[in-house]
Amino acid sequence: MKKRIISGCLVLALLIGGFMGIDRFRPEERSISIVNARVEPSEKETGLKVDAKAAVLMDATSGEVLFAQDAHKKLPPASVTKVMTMLLILEACESGKISLKDKVTISERAAAMGGSQMYMEPGEQHTVEELLMGVAMASANDGAVALAEHLAGSVEMFVERMNRRAAELDMKDTNFVNTNGLPVSNHYTSAYDIAIMSKALIRFPETQNWFTKWQATIKVGLPGKEKDFGLTNTNRLIKIYPGAIGIKTGFTQDAGYCLSGAAERNGTRLIGVILGASTSKVRFAEISKMFDYGFSNYESVKVAKKGQVQKALKLEKGAPSKIDVVMEDDVAVLVKKGKKDSIKTRIEMKGYVPLPLKKGQELGHLVIYQDGVEKERFPIVAAESAKKASIKDLYIQMMKKII
């Protein structure tokens, strides 16, 4: 009887004041901090000088620049352009817009592409995965055009998507005009921007199946006239540099010898970009020199895993009344060797987010400090959705506390 009286009073209180005021969560920790401006170490800080028009060395996890030489200079990228082409295709596969198993019919336009190609005939069909392999390994211009047409309907519409995605990635030194990097006016990017889109691309595990494969064979030709076509990887880095995992070569007379490369050792993954080298041998030697510098001086510190709970958050007038706040992605930071113990972390929550909350919604950051100075910050998100609690929800929550 006593419990019924108490319950009735609680319901009455909820009816009077349960929905007054602003619905929000009240995080236990709130703070304001200033993100430090990124420093791009040059020859003066590193002692490195690269024999190319532009170069950059970047941590593939955080995006921290370890070395830069004219990294924001606008230059023609040749076939390194295809990094963005492959990125858009794989992101479309990830979102479900297309599939790696989709059949793509080769158009007259795709088949007419010159330069590096798979020598496909108009009307023959290949899967998205086969075409991606051709682009990744053999730098197939015809494959790049066919993929663009499959996703966007036309090359022109696909190029619009390329530039839109570049803007989303904050690639400020880039303008794409085609999908494959064949010489054309006003088609340019920078070493830094290439590193940014390469960082986005190599998060897809499928890429390593293509980037690290030296040779493969596929069937090309119309039905009844198929023949074997050998693919040989244009990226000799995977043969000559221990730990190399990609990414894309490029060459035209205007662009010179270009390369976006990646390598991994002991959990540390680096991206190097060379633009405008004088020979193919030089580009591979110079990127190897950058990687040697990176691996000799830096190491990766794993801080948290994707989905790892950072805190339990109470929700005022929410259903549920408490949710976990988790890491959006794996978190690792690069430090100079011997400096692991200098890394500390802090949870920084947003001050106000209204209900309802969506699963995956950003609620704050895990802030990384090194020697007391902010180094990086990574999003923490809601592990599940939450809505504004109804009278019934609030009543049930109250009864659980009583019982």
Question: Could you tell me which residues are beta bridge partners of residue 168?
Answer: none
Task: Retrieve residue 167's tokens.
Answer: 């803007």
Task: Retrieve residue 397's tokens.
Answer: 């929550």
Per DSSP, the three-state class of 45 is helix
Closest CA to 346 of 373, 316, 323: 373
Q: Which of 79, 198, 300, 321 is catalytic?
A: 79
DSSP output for 67-87: EEESTT--B--GGGGHHHHHH
Residue 44 burial by Cβ neighbours in a 10 Å radius (0-12, 13-18, 19+)? exposed
Q: Which of 62, 107, 116, 139 is catalytic?
A: 139
Q: Are 296 and 335 in contact (CB under 8 A)?
A: no
Question: Residue 250 — left, alpha, or beta (φ > 0 → left; ψ -120 to 50 → alpha)?
Answer: beta
Phi, psi dihedrals of residue 349, rounded to the nearest 5°:
-95, 150
Please state, in angstroms and rounded to a whole number, the distance separating the CA atoms of residues 50 and 55. Answer: 7
Phi, psi dihedrals of residue 317, rounded to the nearest 5°:
60, 35
Please state, in angstroms and rounded to a whole number, the distance separating the CA atoms of residues 158 and 161. Answer: 5
Q: Are 173 and 188 in contact (CB under 8 A)?
A: yes
Catalytic, 79? Answer: yes
Phi, psi dihedrals of residue 87, rounded to the nearest 5°:
-60, -45
Q: Which of 53, 82, 248, 289 is catalytic?
A: 82
Mind telling me the catalytic residues? 79, 82, 139
